[in-house]
């Protein structure tokens, strides 16, 4: 059995530039979806980008896919936010921040050589 990757590589579209913006970030999985925790909340540039355009590309280990991202509303889904923070705390020793969910929409196009 292979260990869970440490990082997820998230590519958003720059809200001003329209150019791809990639970050390396900690993640957890829960009920078939990937979750990220934004330390700087809504101030994080990658969060601002996905608020402008929810379509993202993701790489986790060898897996690549396209997805749709959303900020999880802590008032409407407090149990989900608590669970993701708990999972992140267990995996990384840290879990405070804004929770973002990524749902797979389709496999990403294969990278060109």
Mean pLDDT of the chain: 93
Q: 58-82: per-residue pLDDT in tens?
A: 999 999 999 999 999 999 999 999 9
pLDDT of 24 over the 70 cut: yes
In the predicted model, what is the mean pLDDT of residues 38-45?
96
Which pTM was predicted? 0.91
CATH class entry, domain 7-107: mainly beta
Can you say whether the dihedral through the CA atoms of 32, 44, 13, 8 is positive or negative? negative
In the predicted model, what is the mean pLDDT of residues 3-27?
96
- Look at 2 and 112; give whichever has higher pLDDT: 2
What pLDDT, on the 0 to 100 scale, is given for residue 3? 81
DSSP for residue 106: E
Instruction: List the beta bridge partners of residue 29.
Output: 34
Secondary structure (DSSP) of 11-69: EEE-TTT--EEEEEEE-EEETTEEEEEETTGGGSHHHHHHHH--EEEEEETTEEEEEEE
Q: Indicate the domain borders of the chain.
A: 7-107
């Amino acid at each position: 059995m292979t260990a869970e990757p440490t990082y997820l590589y998230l590519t958003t579209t720059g809200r001003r530039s329209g150019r791809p913006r990639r970050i390396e970030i900690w993640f957890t999985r829960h009920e078939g979806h990937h979750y990220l925790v934004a330390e700087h909340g809504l101030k994080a540039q990658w969060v601002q980008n996905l608020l402008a355009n929810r379509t993202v590309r993701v790489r986790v280990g060898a897996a690549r896919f396209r997805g749709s991202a959303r900020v999880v509303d802590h008032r409407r889904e407090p149990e989900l936010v608590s669970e993701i923070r708990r999972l992140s705390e267990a995996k990384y020793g840290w879990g405070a921040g804004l929770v973002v969910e990524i749902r797979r929409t389709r496999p990403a196009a294969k990278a060109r050589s």
